[in-house]
Amino acid sequence: MARYTEQDVQNALADLESGVASATAATRHGDPRNTLRGRSNGAQPHQHAHNDEQRLTTIQEEHLKKWILQQEALGYAPTHAQVRTIAIAVLKRQGDCKNLGKKWTSHFVQRHPAIKSKLGRRTSWERVNEATPENIRHFFNLYETVS
């Protein structure tokens, strides 16, 4: 299956508007002809077309993503299960008590590539336990002798 980006489709659509044949534009940018035809007839990208079907709003997902990135920066990256639990809690506050789908977390990560490598990466206990004031002083003393 050919891989193409939204930017590829936009470039092909720009070519269409400038008079390039659709087959040529599709081939030039690596887009499927049917995709290009549909988009030129007003079809929306898959992600945009299904926004109203998402259980969490775009703003709620952005807040969740921001929280994940903050936790990761602190060395406490949440697990997939924790993210799922938080999403369910948000939905329950809205009165939505239905359970999330089996693949909700993996689809959430696909929608937000910035968190792909962040989930579930915790700082190891060995690293945390070794960060004592004595070890840190020793490290900086060594650093001063090298520089």
Q: Where are the domains of the chain?
A: 6-51, 54-147
Averaged over 134-143, what is the pLDDT? 88
State residue 91's pLDDT score: 94
Distance separating alpha carbons of residues 142 and 140, to the nearest angstrom = 5
pLDDT tens, position by position, 62-85? 999 999 999 888 878 888 999 999
State residue 62's pLDDT score: 95
Backbone angles phi, psi at 76, to 5 degrees: -125, 55
pLDDT tens, position by position, 79-134? 899 999 999 999 999 999 898 999 999 989 988 888 876 665 566 777 777 888 89
Q: What is the pTM of this model?
A: 0.56
Angle, helices 104-111/80-93, rounded to nearest 10 degrees: 90
State residue 122's pLDDT score: 62
pLDDT tens, position by position, 2-40? 588 888 888 988 998 999 888 898 889 888 888 888 888
pLDDT-above-70 percentage for the chain: 87
